[in-house]
Chains A and B, each alone.
Chain A
């Protein structure tokens, strides 16, 4: 009698484990399927792999926790329940946290990630403008920075960046989603010269400029900003406002023309 009862309890338990494993395997297969690779032009970046690993772990975790807590909770033995919770409440959340953090830290380096907030559009549009005289545009046009152009100069929000960078990132996000910011935005922080010096200091071009040698200590101590001599890095707020008005006008004209 006892054997039958135990067998009756074990059967659905085994079935649920098999179902769960099948769901996780299907997710992993979908993530690793060559069909997805074709959609991403046959190449899989590290970011894609991490993202899909995170998706698979998140879906697997949600399924596991719902099944364990709500469907099979009373049918599971105490030890099995605890072991499944170890996977659902510790192992999978750790994988998801790791992959998401890596995805955020790597993904935010791209120019496209900056473009996902519309307040950044004037900055990126100016950078890509071949006739713009700004520092960002000159770096972009001359291909001085091959990729991740925003991140190369604004390194504070990266993994090795400062705590202030993360705090400001959170603050800016909060302003953005609550629409409690004044447009055009104004830069309120300070910019560390070391962001420029990491690439420029010690080069032949840098050494040729006499004022660099004379002001080396001042520049290193951030008492003189590089942009004090080398022009505005981005369009000024008034220029950005004009650009925004012009693009709104062009959009309105296009709409009228379409009507």
Chain B
């Protein structure tokens, strides 16, 4: 009788947390690049708009996603 090898089923919550973190990382990198362009090149219509109206909201989204992932993981572990 062949022995069936069990493949571990990933926890849906962990998958969700990982997706959130990955999205947060991409959002943060995009936001940091936008802000860096503004800080490097200084005041110009495009650079300032890109840095403040695109970069800062992307960084805010990254922080929110990160905090969401942390809260989900803490709940999953029963810490909160």
User: Do A96 and B49 touch (CB < 8 A)?
Assistant: no
Candidates A59, A69, A85, A107; contact of B43 at CB < 8 Å: A107
Cα of A176 to Cα of B66 in the assembled complex, Å: 34
Given A69-B22, A69-B25, A104-B52; A93-B63 close (CB under 8 Å) = yes
- Greatest chain B CB density within 10 A among A99, A100, A112, A176 is at A100
Given A55-B36, A89-B28; A104-B62 close (CB under 8 Å) = no
User: Do B63 and A89 touch (CB < 8 A)?
Assistant: yes
Cα of A104 to Cα of B46 in the assembled complex, Å: 14
User: Do A177 and B51 touch (CB < 8 A)?
Assistant: no
Category for how many chain B residues contact A = 20 to 34
From residue B55, how far is it (CB to closest CB) to chain A in Å?
A: 7
Cα of A102 to Cα of B6 in the assembled complex, Å: 55
User: Do B28 and A177 touch (CB < 8 A)?
Assistant: no
User: Do B45 and A93 touch (CB < 8 A)?
Assistant: no
A residues whose Cβ falls under 8 Å from a Cβ of B? 51, 54-55, 58-59, 61-62, 65-66, 68-69, 85, 88-90, 92-94, 96-97, 99-101, 103-104, 107-108, 112-113, 116-117, 170, 173, 176-177
Cα of A100 to Cα of B42 in the assembled complex, Å: 11
Q: Closest B residue to A94 by CB, please name it.
A: B63
- Residues of B within 8 Å of A104, CB to CB, are 48, 51-52
Q: Which secondary structure dominates chain A's binding surface?
A: helix
Cα of A107 to Cα of B33 in the assembled complex, Å: 20
B residues whose Cβ falls under 8 Å from a Cβ of A? 21-22, 24-25, 28-29, 31-33, 35-36, 38-40, 42-46, 48-49, 51-53, 55-56, 59-60, 62-63, 65-67
User: Do B52 and A61 touch (CB < 8 A)?
Assistant: no
- Greatest chain A CB density within 10 A among B32, B36, B40, B67 is at B32
User: Do A62 and B45 touch (CB < 8 A)?
Assistant: no
From residue B66, how far is it (CB to closest CB) to chain A in Å?
A: 4
- Residues of B within 8 Å of A88, CB to CB, are 25, 28
Given A89-B63, A108-B43; A100-B29 close (CB under 8 Å) = no
- Residues of A within 8 Å of B49, CB to CB, are 173, 177
Candidates A61, A62, A85, A100; contact of B38 at CB < 8 Å: A100
From residue A225, how far is it (CB to closest CB) to chain B in Å?
A: 30
Cα of A106 to Cα of B27 in the assembled complex, Å: 26
Given A55-B36, A104-B48; A89-B66 close (CB under 8 Å) = yes
